[in-house]
A and B are shown apart, each in its own frame.
Chain A
Amino acid sequence: MTSRPLFHSALAASLPAVALLSGCQPPHPTGQLVVASKSSLASVDPVDVTTHAGLQLLSAVGDSLYTAAADGQLKPHLATALPQISPDGRSARIPLRRDVLFHDGSRFDAAAMVFSLERFRSLAKMGYLLDDRISGVRASGPYELELQLKRPYSALPALLSSISLAPLSPKAYRQHQSKPLADRFVGTGPYRLVSSTPQKQTLLPFERYWGPPPRNRGLHLVTLSNSTALFGALVSGEVDVLTSSGMDSDQQRALAQRAQQGRLVEGIGPAGEIGYLTLLSDRPPLNQPLLRRAVALSLDRELISQRVSYGIRAPLRSLVPPPLAGSEPPAWPAYNPTEARQLYQQAGYCQGRRFTLPLTFRSNVPADKLFALTWKAQLQRDLSDCVALEITGVESTTAYRQLADGAFPMILFDWSADYPDPDIYLAPMLACSKPKGQQCLEGNAAAAGSFWSAPGLQAELEVSERLSGPTRLPLLRKLQQRTAAAAAYIPVWQVAPRAWAQPRLRRPVFDGSGRLVLQALSVR
């Protein structure tokens, strides 16, 4: 007795079945597009949203008071003009548009804006964005908002361009004034959120939108959990647009090559994310500024950028990424092994004595691991007589947890801005509430793991926060030059967001906050 015929007939039946299934692809609704990314979305409430994917969604269904263009220029959006700042710089009045409706049909006004900002302050995980700057919010007229500032702050319009502060309908959120609403969003943006699950959100154009209508008839934002699947989904035509957030460099490079061959179209936005090294400056072995400067000179960014990311992560020698003010000229020195060797020698190394440089990287971030391995090999090649890199991987949440304890002599991190302003890059690393000479005992610099400060640095930071325009520029440069000279931080690379679309679509474009402009996606 044999069951071979049974096996063969099962095999013979399975092939037509697969062929039949492959032909049963559901029709693509005309004008609607599928946009894929890696991150799933647990909540669409601005008070919960902290991820790039969440902010991307909010930018389509919500509006901010100001928006940043791709060149970094801010312009009024729901506001009608830039804030009118009081002479003492501690209050700001913002006139608002009168022709805006929420998705539930209710009218947007100053009271709605106050409701939304107060709700954000009391509930949001990122409530510190406002708490650090704003002490009070009130409606000074039906369409005029008044903000009380804790201290003068020139980047207020940039702060208010944060999409996390998008107004919400007080009518829709009345029951959720003191608790988040995870799966619904009622704002004023160009799209209505029709349905939302962590893996998929459906958006349809809001017919009564005050601004220009979207160029497409709706969007399906889907999540695929790994880089290979995302790549495959775009290449096979299953999705129309793909964003680069969370994608491996190999796949990004392959997509860029396809774009060069005309098989896809590629859009690149302004870099909002930076990668940098934090050096523990108040404890051995890196408490010697000389050694820290030697380390800064030992980093071959160009080589590492190519080896780790095929140049996708562009080398960066400034804590503020271009095109923001203060990013040029770069304050940190370029790779210079000769000068680095001299400094190591001055510190007592290189003559038969090798400095062991400990580097911690986040083991769950592939680019960080590649950085560590590549830098180790580069130092072995160029400066093996002076320095050896000792690398250790820790999971990212563990790293965050132990950073403020001074657990890592040197660690690689990345930083993404909530809004496009130099202050949001500098203050979180340099601000210090309790400085003592070259040391920061309490404050952001301690929480960031460098514990570095300098006499007069805090005063300069505060002045920089007050100034704007060309008068601010020299101070921004000076702040970075001081930080570069101390080498408590070493910028490594910048990451520009990218998106790829099927060739029948227009080139994806980004706003100044590094978010894909979803309403501009359309067929050519």
Chain B
Amino acid sequence: MSRRRHLLRYLASRLALVPVMLWLIASLVFLLLRVAPGDPIDALLGLRAPPEARALLRQQLGLDQPLLVQYGRYLVDLLHGQLGDSLTNNEPVTAVIGHSLPASLELGVVALLIAAVLGIAVGFSGIARPEGKTDLAGRLYGIGTYALPPFWAAMVVQLVLAVWLGWLPVGGRFPATLVPPTGSGFYLLDSLLAGNTQQFWGALRHLVLPAATLGLLLSGVFANALRLNLRRALDSDYVEAARSRGLSERRVVLRHALPNALLPVLTIAGITVASLIGGALLIEVTYSWPGVAFRLQEAIGQRDYPVVQGIVVVVAALVVAVSVLVDLLVALLDPRVSF
């Protein structure tokens, strides 16, 4: 069988599992939400409402139906691509995700870029003299940034750069006094396409702190991964062979060792992207960044079942898609991977 056919088979086997995984996740979220104490009626009405008002709202929202009926309706809607409407404001869940997902992706992509640049720079810095001062500093940086609690780091950065120095905004995604750009929901891109520099700088100023904090915290993982893999690659036979052919050290590192060392980093980047889509919760909350994680946290507090279910299913689908894509890329780039 040709390599291409093998690859297609590998892809098909990965994709075949996707619907099963999504069904499992959707069902788990549905069940866990209902098993958890508290319900949307209490979250919506609080203490005030008399029992009749509670019963009426429960009926209006379809929460008086047996659990199996609710589950059946939920699955049928899901199969038709309908995620339902928010219980708090009746907004379609697709619209809720449509507003918040670009914010998370924009933050995630910029943070990942910062993490990659910083991580690679730090991981690379100790290569010339292993176990030297720079190498040690790089290792400490990797461990330190990885171990820092995100909410603490975010609050310190916020306090110093936004509150004390007043250099950058404390939170939010866009200046309050400006009208945000329209289009894809990616403010940097939309404002660039519109040629509106005021909007662009406004969006960038708000993005810098959350993206830099997130990037900084993630960069340690990249740094350590690159450092370890680069060290392993530099000790390998093919690098030794390259050196013996009289190639310069720069050429040996950049052309021979680095590409091989970057492959595991690509896998880490994939996992990081997947976790960033829905997992930058503490950063989003600290910086009031209106992304999916922030919205999910609000929806959980309000017991807004459709929003929680919708966000989890969409994020899960994206995570699965990114994982499959990364596996495929690694399989394509690394001839050692068999499939």
A residues at B contact (CB < 8 Å):
1-4, 6-7, 10, 18-19, 21-22, 24-29, 32, 34, 40, 42-43, 45, 48, 50, 125-128, 131-132, 179-180, 182, 195, 197-200, 220, 222-226, 228-229, 231-233, 235-239, 364, 394-398, 400-404, 413, 415, 418, 428, 444, 447-448
Top 8 A-B residue pairs of the complex, sorted by shortest distance between their CB atoms: A397-B38, A232-B163, A43-B89, A22-B167, A400-B42, A398-B37, A220-B176, A128-B53
Say whether B44 contacts A225, CB under 8 Å: no
Contact A401 B121 (CB under 8 A): no
Contact in complex: A182, B89 (CB < 8 Å) = yes
- Nearest to B56 among chain A residues (CB) is A127
Q: Are B89 and A50 in contact (CB-based, < 8 A)?
A: no
Looking across the interface, which residue of chain A has its beta carbon closest to that of B303?
A: A397
A484 and B222 alpha carbons, distance in the complex (Å) = 64
A-B contact pairs, 23 of them (CB 8 A): A21-B204, A21-B205, A24-B201, A26-B175, A26-B202, A50-B46, A126-B49, A127-B53, A128-B48, A131-B53, A180-B89, A198-B290, A225-B288, A226-B286, A228-B155, A229-B288, A232-B159, A232-B170, A236-B162, A396-B38, A402-B37, A404-B51, A415-B47
Q: Which residues of B contact A40 (CB under 8 A)?
A: 298
A225 touching B53, Cβ below 8 Å? no
Query: Judging by beta carbons under 8 Å apart, are B45 and A395 in contact?
Result: no
Residue of A125, A199, A394 near B288 (CB, 8 A) is A199
The reply to whether B134 and A1 form a contact with Cβ atoms under 8 Å apart is: no
- Chain B residues near A236: list those with CB within 8 A: 162-163, 166, 170
Q: In the complex the two chains form, is A1's CB within 8 Å of B171's CB?
A: no
Binding site for A on B (CB under 8 A): 37-39, 42-53, 57, 86, 88-91, 99, 117-118, 121-122, 124-125, 127-129, 134, 155, 158-159, 161-163, 165-179, 198, 201-202, 204-205, 208, 249-250, 253, 285-288, 290, 294, 298, 301, 303
Out of A32, A126, A233, A403, which one reaches B177, CB within 8 Å? A32
Q: Report the bound CA distance from A197 to B287 in whole Å.
A: 17
Q: Is the CB of A1 within 8 A of B127?
A: yes
- Sample of 11 further A-B pairs with CB below 8 A, known A1-B249, A2-B134: A2-B125, A4-B125, A6-B125, A7-B122, A27-B177, A42-B89, A125-B49, A199-B288, A226-B285, A236-B162, A400-B47
Residues of B within 8 A of A21 (CB): 167-168, 201, 204-205, 208
Please tell me which one of the listed residues B127, B205, B287 contacts residue A24 in the complex, with CB atoms under 8 A apart. B205
Flag if B167 contacts A48 (CB, 8 Å): no
Whether A233 lies near B170 (C-beta < 8 A) is yes
Residue of A nearest to B207 (CB): A21
Residues of A within 8 A of B51 (CB): 404, 447
Inside 8 A of A228's CB, which chain B residues have their CB? 155, 158-159, 163
Q: Which residues of A contact B288 (CB under 8 A)?
A: 199, 223-226, 229
- Contacting pair A229 B171 (CB below 8 A): yes
- State in angstroms the CA–CA spacing of A155 and B9 once bound together: 74
Among A3, A127, A220, A447, the most chain B Cβ lie within 10 Å of the Cβ of: A3
Contacts of B208 in A (CB 8 A): 18, 21
On chain A, the residues within 8 Å of B121 by CB distance are 3, 6-7, 10
A1 touches B89 (CB 8 A): no
Residue in contact with B172 in the complex, picked from A26, A224, A403, A447, CB distance below 8 Å? A224
Residues of chain B lying within 8 A (CB to CB) of residue A447: 47, 50-51
Q: Which of A199, A222, A229 is close to B158, meaning CB atoms less than 8 Å apart? A: A229
Q: Give the CA-CA distance A156 to B209 in the complex, in Å.
A: 51
In the complex, how many angstroms separate the beta carbon of A184 from the nearest chain B beta carbon? 12
Give the contacting residue for B42; candidates A2, A24, A126, A397; CB below 8 A.
A397
On chain B, the residues within 8 Å of A402 by CB distance are 37
- Inter-chain CA distance A149–B128, complex, in Å, is 86
Contact status of A222 and B176, CB under 8 A, knowing A228-B155, A232-B158, A236-B163: yes
Q: What is the number of contacts between chain A and chain B, taking CB atoms within 8 Å?
A: 192
Smallest CB separation, A404 vs chain B (Å): 7
Q: Which residues of A contact B286 (CB under 8 A)?
A: 225-226, 229
**CB within 8 Å for A42 and B88 given contacts A1-B128, A2-B134, A447-B51:** yes
- On whether the beta carbons of B127 and A42 are closer than 8 Å, the reply is no
- B327 → chain A closest CB, angstroms: 30
* Complex contacts, A233 vs chain B, CB 8 Å: 169-171
Contact of B88 among A25, A32, A43, A229 (CB under 8 A): A43
User: What is the minimal beta-carbon distance from A47 to any residue of chain B, in angstroms?
Assistant: 10
Cα–Cα distance between A230 and B174 once the two chains are bound (Å): 16
Distance (Å) between the CB of A286 and the closest chain B CB?
Answer: 19
CA distance A308 to B208 in the complex (A): 36
Question: Nearest chain B CB to A135's CB is how many angstroms away?
Answer: 15
State whether B117 touches A10 (Cβ < 8 A). Answer: yes
A17, closest chain B residue (CB): B208
Residues of chain A within 8 A of B50, CB atoms compared:
128, 132, 444, 447
State in angstroms the CA–CA spacing of A396 and B125 once bound together.
51
**Most chain B CB atoms below 10 A, which of A42, A403, A413:** A42
Query: Given contacts A21-B204, A223-B288, A239-B176, is CB(A48)–CB(B89) below 8 Å?
Result: yes
In the bound assembly, the distance between CA atoms of A127 and B170 in angstroms comes to 38
Kindly state the separation between the CA atoms of A24 and B165 in the bound complex, as whole angstroms: 15
CB distance from A224 to the nearest CB of B (A): 5
**B303 nearest CB across to chain A (Å):** 6
The docked-state distance in angstroms from the alpha carbon of A29 to that of B163 is 22
Chain A residues closer than 8 Å to B168, beta-carbon distance? 18, 21-22
Shortest CB-to-CB span from B300 to chain A, Å, is: 10
Contact at B91–A413, with CB atoms within 8 Å?
no
Residues of chain A contacted by B57 (CB below 8 angstroms):
125
- Assess whether A400 is in contact with B167, with CB atoms less than 8 Å apart: no
Chain B residue, CB-CB nearest to A10: B121
Q: How far is the CB of B307 from chain A (nearest CB, A)?
A: 10
Complex Cα spacing A24 to B167, Å: 10
Q: How far is the CB of B248 from chain A (nearest CB, A)?
A: 9
Which of A2, A6, A42, A397 is in CB contact (< 8 Å) with B86?
A42
Question: In the complex, A413→B134 CA distance in Å?
Answer: 56
